[in-house]
Amino acid sequence: MTGSNKSPNRKGLVGLLVGLAFLLVAAYGGVAMWGASEFTQPEGIIATQVRALAREGTLYYSLQQYPYTVCAYMPVFYGLAAGLVKLGLPPLLGGRAVSFLALVAVLGLVWRLVALYTGRRLAAWLGLGLAGVTQLLVGWGTTGQVDMLGLAFSLAAFHQYARFEVEGRESLDWAAGLAVAGLFTKQTFLAAPAAIFVLLLLAAPRRAARFAFLVGGVGGLTVLGVNWLLDGRFLTNTVFANMNPFAWYKLRQPLEYLGVVLAPLVLVVLAGARASFGGAMRAPFVYLGLAFTVFLLTAPKVGADSNYLIETAALLVIGACCALQALRYFELTAAGSKSWVTLLALPVALYAVQNLRVAAPALVQRVAREQEFARQVEGLRPYLGGTGRILSADSNALVQAGRLFEVEPLIYRLLVEAGRIDGAAVQRDLEAGRFESILLYEDLAAATDPDPEFPRLTAAQMETIRRRYELVKHVPGPYLGGVYVYQRAGGSARRSLPMRLID
């Protein structure tokens, strides 16, 4: 056969990509298991909440009294991570273990979905390799946040739909259950159930109605039941307190990332969209379009990060592999064709190179930050080991000291300014000097940073700290200018207490 001598070359290149993906995932996973400090501030906040759930059985708070910390996500991730903490893992490591296992599941699901829709194992291995070198997936898949687990449930739900569509399996009830699990991990994983419903509505309306009932009816009743059992605290945390102010500028960074790092696959998807959508491979494209829509609707808010883009990134990989199959890329390259379709190998290769170029320095940065955090924790050690109350903007310090948040400054300030929380209790305690130490990211004698995402208290409370507390220590660290330690003015504030690390 004319192209038979080229097939081993194609398989060799795909094998090389899969090998690089394996090394990248292993490197990120190794650093995740080694690192003792947070990779992101939300990871540290979630770790304190996981510790509270494991230790006290408490997760969602009323927000009308201490502790003022919002558990912004649904309970599945917290519960799994807390179970690992009960088994002896530290909170950060417990969360990362859940995310890493979810990442492995996502890679397997990408392989399976591409294999189902293309019917070609080489395409499936290409999808696995592309997903494995996608820095967004590997980075968030080794961070103790809810996103990768939610994506795993969503892709698993869509996989069950694909088994129904492609193989004729009776798997839609499984799809509904897994979609609900995704929503009970992170409430913005709406794209998969929406895509399944739309596709069923076009092909089998009765099936669509049953699917909608199981996801919307059963899932909705479960939400209302849990909220009733928790006296309204569930929806207060996951919906009302989670509605951060919209900020359109937050779209700029992920869109720039999309336009640079993910752009090569966008090109492949656009090249093959018509051929795919008109055939048997339209389902992944419907899912991709809805995932990108959800991203556009949810990402422009204070506190959003590139994690809002991970579902779109995973679907771009699946969609690109389907597009290549729809354009007969694999047959044409095997036959040595000079068609323009064979040139799509260039953006695929560029995608892998771009992601590896981003992933390598990001991994090095994690290692460097771990060392900076270690020095910072040592510098803060004398101020965290006593029994006095601590108000800290630095979540990592609380995680390392085995403490929980009394006040989580950023979300607390946003909620006070929105009128959802009464700031009087914290104001009274600051006036009375009831906090032994206050850890902030700013020198109160300097100009205020206007960034709305800066973790600080309200203006009145910050002014009270200026009057009632004095700066006793500045400890450099990886965030902003480091941590500034304030203690009660005029008392025994400067006496260091020995620290007892709590597990």
- The 8-class DSSP code of residue 214 comes to I
DSSP string, 217-236: IIHHHHHHHHHHHTTTHHHH
SS (H, E, C) 144-204: CCCHHHHHHHHHHHHHHHHHHHHHCCCCHHHHHHHHHHHHCCCCCCCHHHHHHHHHHHHHC
Question: By three-state DSSP, how is residue 301 classified?
Answer: strand
What confidence tens digit (pLDDT) does each residue in 170-192 have? 999 999 999 999 999 999 999 99
With a pLDDT cut of 70, the percent of the chain lying above it is 96
Retrieve residue 429's tokens.
Answer: 């305690």
Q: What is the pLDDT of residue 279?
A: 75
As a whole number of angstroms, the distance between CA 218 and CA 161 comes to 18
Tokens 């389902």 identify what position? 283
* Domain regions of the chain by residue span: 72-367, 384-488
Q: What is the DSSP string of 86-140?
A: HTT--HHHHHHHHHHHHHHHHHHHHHHHHHHHH--HHHHHHHHHHHHH-HHHHHH
pLDDT at 247: 76
Average pLDDT over residues 432-442: 94
Among residues 453, 457, 482, the alpha carbon closest in space to that of 468 is found at 457
Does residue 502 have a pLDDT over 80? Answer: no
- C-beta separation of 250 from 451 below 8 A: no
Q: What is the C-alpha separation between 448 and 454, in angstroms, rounded?
A: 10
Q: Give the per-residue pLDDT at 60.
A: 94
Contact call for residues 352 and 130 (beta carbons, < 8 A)? yes
> What is the number of alpha carbons within 13 Å of residue 483 lying toward its C-beta?
27
Q: Which residue has the higher pLDDT, 20 or 63?
A: 20
What confidence tier does 492 reach under pLDDT thresholds 50, 70, 90?
very low
Q: Which helix (H) or strand (E) holds 424?
A: helix 424-431
450 or 92, higher pLDDT: 92
The b-or-e profile of 36-72 (16+ CB within 10 A means b, else e) is: ebbbbbbbbbbbbbbbbbbbeeebbbebeeebbbbbb
Tens of pLDDT along 128-165? 999 999 999 999 999 999 999 999 999 999 999 999 99
